[in-house]
Every structure is written in C-alpha cells, then in structure tokens.
Amino acid sequence: MKISRRGFLQVGGFSFAVAMILPRVAFAARNALRSMRTGVQPGNKTRLVIETSSKPSYSLSYPENQLVVDIANMALDSSVKPTLASGTLVSELSQVQSGDHLHVVAKLRKPIAKLEKSQIMLLEPNGDNDYRLVLDFSASAAAAQKIAESVTSAPATKTPPKKHVIIIDAGHGGKDPGCIGRNGTREKDVVLSVAKRLRAKLEDAGFKTYMTRRDDTYLKLAERAEYAEQKKGDLFISLHANANPSRSVKGFSIYTLSEKASDEEAKKLAESENAADKIGVDGFTEFERDIRAALSSLQQHAVAEMSEEYANGCARAFRANKVEAQPGPSVRHAPFAVLRSTVPGALIELGHLSNSSEEKLLKNPDHQNRLVAAIVRSIKNYNFDV
C-alpha cells in the first residue's frame, strides 16, 4: 500500500505513542541508520541525504539555525559518521536519541525556511543504496529576518498568509479550435468561458491566478508550460473538452502526466492533444529537449505525486457536485506535453462535445458554474503545504 508523506507523519506519531506503552523489546525489528551525507546542488542548494534500512516515518522541525529530522523506531548508531561536502549550509551533523525516535540534527550556517514538499523526496532502494530521505534547501533571507525580529523588543509585524498561485490554462485557441460538437460548439470557446469564470471565483477565494490565454489566441504547449514556470505556479489546471467516436460516451475525466499511458484511450487522447503543437511546428522538438532536460528525476517524482493527489481530490469534488463522470477510472495518466513542467497539475476534460446532450450542457452558463464550483472546491481542499 502506498503511503503519502502525510501518512508517514501520522505513522510517526502513532509509533511514538506505541513506544510509550509497549516494552522496548517490541521494537527489536527497528529501522537502522545507514549513512548521512551532504552535497551541493545547482543553484547553490544544499542537499542532505539520510539513508535507512527501511522506509522511514519522519517529521521535520526548525529550531534556530538547525534542521532536525525526527525518525521513528530508530536507535542511535555511533558507527555511522556523516560525510560533509564543502560549500553547503550544514556545518555539523549529529544524532540524538529521544525515546524510540532518533533525531538527526543538522547545524546550519544560515537560517532556512520551512521545506516545501517539492524539496523533499523519499527514494526507494536502488542498487547499493537503501531508502534515502533527500532534503534540498538554501539560505532564506526571510527566515533570517524573522529570527532577527523575534529577538528585538519591538512587536513583530504579522506576515500576511501566502497567496497560492493557480495557473489556469484554457486549451487550444486561435487557429486551433480543438474538437467541435455536432452543433458547431468549439472546444476553445467552451474552455475559455469556463477559465474566465474559474479565475473570478478563485480570486474571490483569495488565490492569485494567471491565465495562459485570455482571448482567442494560439499558444504552443511549450509556452503554456513555460508560463506556469515563470509565474511560479503552485498548481496548473489545463481545461479541455473531449470527443469520442462513440457519441453515447459522456462525462468528465482527469489526467496527470505519465510517460506510460494508463490505458489505450488515455494514450490516444494525449496524442490528440499533443498534436495541437504540430499546427505551429517550430519549437515542438525543442520543447521536448529543453523542458524535459530541466527536470531531474527527483522533481518528476515529486511533481507526479502532488499532481496525483490533486487529481484524485478533483475527481471527488466533481462527483460531490453531481457532475457525471466518464465510464471507467476518473483519474488517468498519459504523456501530455502541456503538463511537462515542475508545477504540479492536471488536465481536466470537462465533458464530451461529441455527445449532443453534453454539448448543450457545456454551453450552458449554469452548468459551467457547476464545473467551476467543483474545481474551486478541489483547490480549496488541496494541501499545498505538505
């Protein structure tokens, strides 16, 4: 069973509670510390790697000028000596036992901010390596300022909560109409209408939003992905409407990025959506080379996990708002070019223009508002901070 990082934190708390109740002999099969090491990553980032024999249950805390990794069900091992690379923020790594938890304490040269989930990765065993908890971080001027303010006598000024950035991508546009319904409804028009409604509702809810297009403009898939990067998006929502050879098929479906399609239908849909770039062929292969090269395997894994989490929540929100789902899995996976970025996201097929009854629905303002309400609900329920 796959356990998310949030699950690991919950398991960690549970393990601690059990440790207080059961005798220590019950923890004979403990996790074991294999190694601790630091390195330097591009962008002057520090990487801390903690290798363990089993998948760790962990939590992080941030005392002044320290990063503490609390690992449940693990004993101190003085034979494990840290390997510290020069030029990192970590000046010292030590182990401290606390009950049945081991604290790996990284003493820092400069303050850091709380790590976001894109900076944390748990890697499976590979070759000579066991499980590795990988943490990437850099010095934070904001964190340093916060510490400085906390030691002054002046009352601290409250920092306003961060506005999460949502990138809304209305698919197709301009010379690319997308699919067209039997009564002439164009996909590019439907999704732009929904995108504008979605932006207004998200702004009202306190989110910062950007639209890849606000009018009938043609954009390459590379430009859409790059725009999300430039605006430092926290979530990327690409809106589309589907078509199917069987005109009886209808309902929403949600897709995330995967190199291997989850089924034949997902594969064909990705091929169809990716073919939009062939309308303006220049730069299509360049996108594949540049964007994919920019993504490390660590980032891809993290983004995929976050995207999957959002997509499942989005499917639940659609069902809760009584939006009909396409038969089969509500969440599928395929190699959509527009989703190739370091911003977590999903491609939402709002319905089928090839189905005459759903074509009418997709043009209906009330139904569009229902779709928007479901997406807003999914974004509000999404945990951006874990």
Sign of CA dihedral 27, 28, 30, 36: positive
pLDDT for position 259: 54
Whole-number Å distance between alpha carbons of 201 and 379: 11
Q: How confident is the model at residue 239 (pLDDT cuts 50, 70, 90)?
A: very high
Q: What is the pLDDT of residues 153-200, one digit of tens each?
A: 445 555 567 789 999 999 999 999 999 999 999 999 999 999 999 999
Q: pLDDT at residue 317 above 80?
A: yes
pLDDT for position 5: 34
Whole-number Å distance between alpha carbons of 338 and 322: 28
pLDDT for position 263: 57
Pick the closest to residue 317 from 364, 363, 382 (CA basis): 382
Place of tokens 């400085």: 148
21-25, 210-214, 319-323, 364-368, range with the lowest pLDDT:
21-25
91-100, 204-213, 277-286, 321-330, range with the lowest pLDDT:
277-286
CB 70 within 8 A of CB 60: yes
- 208-211, strands of its sheet edge to edge: 208-211, 165-170, 235-242, 345-352, 253-257, 331-334
CB 52 within 8 A of CB 60: no
- Characterize 67-76 residue by residue with b for buried, 16 or more Cβ atoms within 10 angstroms of its Cβ, and e for exposed: bebbbbbbee
Whole-number Å distance between alpha carbons of 177 and 216: 9
32-36, 162-166, 267-271, range with the lowest pLDDT:
267-271
pLDDT for position 349: 93
Q: How confident is the model at residue 333 (pLDDT cuts 50, 70, 90)?
A: confident
Residue 292: helix, strand or coil by DSSP? helix
1-10, 93-102, 269-278, range with the lowest pLDDT:
1-10
- 58-61, strands of its sheet edge to edge: 58-61, 66-72, 101-108, 90-98
Whole-number Å distance between alpha carbons of 123 and 243: 39
Residue 220: helix, strand or coil by DSSP? coil
Q: How confident is the model at residue 348 (pLDDT cuts 50, 70, 90)?
A: very high
Token reading at 229:
């990067």
- Characterize 251-277 residue by residue with b for buried, 16 or more Cβ atoms within 10 angstroms of its Cβ, and e for exposed: bbbbbbbbeebbeebbbebbeebbebb
**What's the whole-number average pLDDT of the chain?**
80
Please state, for a pLDDT cut of 90, what percent of the chain lies above it.
54
Q: What is the pLDDT of residues 40-55, one digit of tens each?
A: 988 789 999 999 999 9
Domains of the chain in start order, with CATH, are 5-147 (2.60.40.3500), 165-381 (3.40.630.40)
Pick the closest to residue 173 from 240, 219, 226 (CA basis): 219
Sign of CA dihedral 326, 220, 380, 62: positive
Q: What angle do CA 327, 355, 359 make, to 5 degrees?
A: 120
H or E stretch at 379 = helix 365-381
Residue 258: helix, strand or coil by DSSP? coil
Q: How confident is the model at residue 12 (pLDDT cuts 50, 70, 90)?
A: very low
CB 165 within 8 A of CB 231: yes
Q: pLDDT at residue 335 above 80?
A: no
CA within 13 Å, CB half, 189: 11
Q: How confident is the model at residue 269 (pLDDT cuts 50, 70, 90)?
A: low
Token reading at 335:
């190699």
Q: How confident is the model at residue 283 (pLDDT cuts 50, 70, 90)?
A: very low
Q: pLDDT at residue 18 above 50?
A: no
Pick the closest to residue 303 from 333, 336, 342 (CA basis): 342
Alpha helices in 113-186 (DSSP H): 141-150
**How far, rounded to the nearest angstrom, does the alpha carbon of residue 347 sit from its chain's CA centroid?**
13
Largest CA distance in the chain: 74
CB 225 within 8 A of CB 291: yes
Q: pLDDT at residue 289 above 60?
A: no
Q: How confident is the model at residue 148 (pLDDT cuts 50, 70, 90)?
A: low
Please state, for a pLDDT cut of 70, what percent of the chain lies above it.
73
